[in-house]
Amino acid sequence: LAKTTQPISMDSYEGQEVNITCSHNNIATNDYITWYQQFPSQGPRFIIQGYKTKVTNEVASLFIPADRKSSTLSLPRVSLSDTAVYYCLVGDGGSQGNLIFGKGTKLSVKP
């Protein structure tokens, strides 16, 4: 199972774009990359999932280079409510549940 490495914490200011990079050097061919957001005392919330290149939804963008050994979650114009822990996970898209949660990145957005 691919292990992921993320920065432990990041600070930002309201209105800025935030990019959180995750390393997953041992990603397998059939692994997808998924990002979750977790607020205190709540379950993780699915943000975005991708396999390669770029994926964009109404919340974020996910950039995945050709070698897939890393990925970058991009949050446009963050607000105070984006303060949360962000987890990067890799796993078999066909049988989720073997996802291993790392420590995540604690994003603090300041006014």
100 binds another protein (CB under 8 A): yes
For residue 82, report the phi and psi dihedrals to the nearest 5 degrees: -85, -5
Please choose, out of 12-20, 40-48, 58-66, 74-82, the segment that lies near another protein by the rule CB under 8 A: 40-48
104 binds another protein (CB under 8 A): yes
Q: Cα(34)–Cα(71) distance, rounded to whole angstroms?
A: 10
Q: How far is the CB of 14 from another protein (least distance, A)?
A: 27
23 binds another protein (CB under 8 A): no
86 binds another protein (CB under 8 A): no
Residue type, 5: T
What's the CA angle centered on 99, arms 77 and 102, to 5 degrees?
60
Q: Cα(13)–Cα(82) distance, rounded to whole angstroms?
A: 10
Interface positions with another protein (CB under 8 A): 34, 36, 41-46, 49, 87, 95-104
